[in-house]
Structure 1
Amino acid sequence: MTDLRTANPDIDSLSVSVVVYRPDLALLAATLQSLAAACRCWQALKPDASVELCLVDNGGLTGADELLGALRQQGIACRVMTGHGNVGYGRGHNLALEGTQTRFHLVLNPDVVLDPDGLSEALRFFAQHPEAGLLSPRVVDEHGQLQYLCRRYPALFDLLVRGFLPARWRACFARRLARYEMREVINERDIVWDPAIVSGCFMLFRTNVLQALGGFDPRYFLYFEDYDLSLRAHDQARVAYVPAVRVLHHGGGAARKGLAHIRRFAASAFRFFNRFGWKWL
């Protein structure tokens, strides 16, 4: 198998980590197929570019070799990390990051579908903006509607309203939530520099920036690890929302995932606010 730790950081090289736990195999296959297509487009422009994928199995993954076939056929080095148990989302990505020597690293959810030119646009942006260290894309849902996943620093009230109130009651706080979700500046045309928080479903880093941050804080098992990493990223480089980079995200809120997820959400929120400061209203 190709050694995934020997890429030359002075040339265009990309590593990708995907962490799964009992994944929806159809969604995961769509994610990996879209990644393969995006890599083909990028490598057509940069024939010497190298790509490596680490699929981190926190439990319940089957048929990995079949899923990775399309990527391997086009020369993308792939490995599967398994046997470590369910260590959580952030720690799973940190496992993939250990020893990585690529120039760029993509943290990718297993329910995200990239546009074919997504990587090309993203890496072109990095080439033009050396000050940028973390890129967030334009994200749409299954209906093509823009998801507002860049955020201002949250108040606890915002999180409770957005995550747990029924839609008919949530509408009463539409203006407040619109400000939290930066709706007055996030659109499908304009680059936005330095949003406080960006979504962990797609975080494209300069690898040296991510490594300087130490990756995700492993104390978060699930939820808020991307909030934490986003805020710390501003200490190392600039963060950019780049709408020319387009992805589709099949996502859902904690309130729709059962009591165990709500408990994890609450525990992570407590840890986040204890670290960065409580803001109630």
Structure 2
Amino acid sequence: MELNITASIVLFNSNADEIEHVISCFTSKTLHLKLYLIDNSKNDDLKYLGNVENVEYIFLGKNIGYGAAHNVAISLSGKGSPYHLVLNPDISFKPEIIEQAFRYMENNSKVGMLSPKILYPDGRPQHMCRMLPTPFDLIARRFMPGFIKPFFRKSLNNYTLEKLDYKKIHNIPNLPGSFMFLRNKALKEVGGFDENFFMYLEDIDLTRRIHTKYDTIYYPDIEITHALEQGSYKSGKLLKYHIQSALYYFNKWGWFNDEARSKINKSLEKKLKND
């Protein structure tokens, strides 16, 4: 049976109820789907979650990193499916949006990635579209105290696209990683996730690389709910991973001399002004 879409969720001591809920969301009456559960945990206590039709559990026995674990599923997906969906474990959505995303991608061959409208559990919108970050953008948003940030409000608002009309479709170079609907052809061309990112910023890096070859689309006609735990604000260990990823990202792309970033951001800014 030829698959239409594969998907993957990375597990690490995960909440079983959350995973079971996402599994229940990832269904379709008309499409052939397969979901990979890639387990980075030290034990396979969640193995039973794979005892569901069209779900395959893969136990790695060690934490190889978020992007690297998704690459395990992406390598399998590329052999038999045109699309791969990267999912966070703490999201919720109506099953019909899978078919809507599939139809949009089928009708728009220039699109390499699609990201939906994202809501908080209380229904408030999460405005997650971004320009490509400068070192200042990431440092200011993460570490500057609230009483200092107003002095840099204009710069930060520019990075976070505060004036973006979230009711419209946009081609955005920096999209969140909670629900990444990806064209496998695009993934093959750019090489999947960069496994040097253990955790954090791998979604920015991947979206950026796809954006250089395809459109990376914010698509508000479908929506998901995401808890947005922001673990690095609560855990010193996760904060360490966040800092390491930021250092690697800017070493890779450039700290203050990133001509590609400047070109992409200026192009987006110009387009939004003309819309």
> Normalising by structure 1, what TM-score?
0.83
**Residue 33 of structure 2 is aligned to residue 51 of structure 1:** yes
2:139 is matched with 160
SS of match in other structure, 1:96: helix
Alignment of 1:117-266 (within 5 A): 117-165=96-144, 170=149, 173-187=152-166, 189-193=167-171, 195-266=172-243
Once residues 176 and 114 of structure 1 are traced to their aligned partners in structure 2, the CA distance between those partners, rounded to angstroms, is 33
2:59 aligns with one of 77, 82, 107: 82
Once residues 279 and 213 of structure 1 are traced to their aligned partners in structure 2, the CA distance between those partners, rounded to angstroms, is 24
Q: Is the 8 A contact 1:54 1:79 kept in 2?
A: yes
Identify if the C-alpha distance between structure 1 residues 279 and 32 changes in structure 2 by more than 3 Å, giving closer, same or farther. Answer: farther
State the Cα distance separating 1:152 from its structure 2 match: 0.3
SS of match in other structure, 2:76: coil
State the Cα distance separating 1:236 from its structure 2 match: 2.7
State the Cα distance separating 1:173 from its structure 2 match: 4.5
Q: Percent identity?
A: 28
Q: Is the 8 A contact 1:113 1:248 kept in 2?
A: yes
2:75 aligns with one of 87, 98, 119: 98
Q: Is the 8 A contact 2:232 2:242 kept in 1?
A: no
Q: Is the 8 A contact 1:216 1:229 kept in 2?
A: yes
State the Cα distance separating 1:174 from its structure 2 match: 4.3
Deviations 1:42-81 (A, max 9, x none): x2xx3xx31011000000563442x455x52xxxx21111
Point out where structure 1 has 5 or more consecutive residues left out of the alignment: 1-6
Once residues 226 and 203 of structure 1 are traced to their aligned partners in structure 2, the CA distance between those partners, rounded to angstroms, is 9
Once residues 267 and 127 of structure 1 are traced to their aligned partners in structure 2, the CA distance between those partners, rounded to angstroms, is 37
Q: Is the 8 A contact 2:50 2:57 kept in 1?
A: no
Once residues 114 and 164 of structure 1 are traced to their aligned partners in structure 2, the CA distance between those partners, rounded to angstroms, is 32
1:15 is matched with 6
Point out where structure 2 has 5 or more consecutive residues left out of the alignment: 258-275
1:62 is matched with 45
1:29 aligns with one of 16, 20, 24: 20
Deviations 1:216-274 (A, max 9, x none): 01111001111111111023311111001211111132542311111111111011011
Deviations 1:177-235 (A, max 9, x none): 33212221241x20002x11111111101112112221101111001111111111023
Counterpart residue identity of residue 192, structure 1:
H
SS of match in other structure, 2:99: helix
Equivalent residues, number: 254
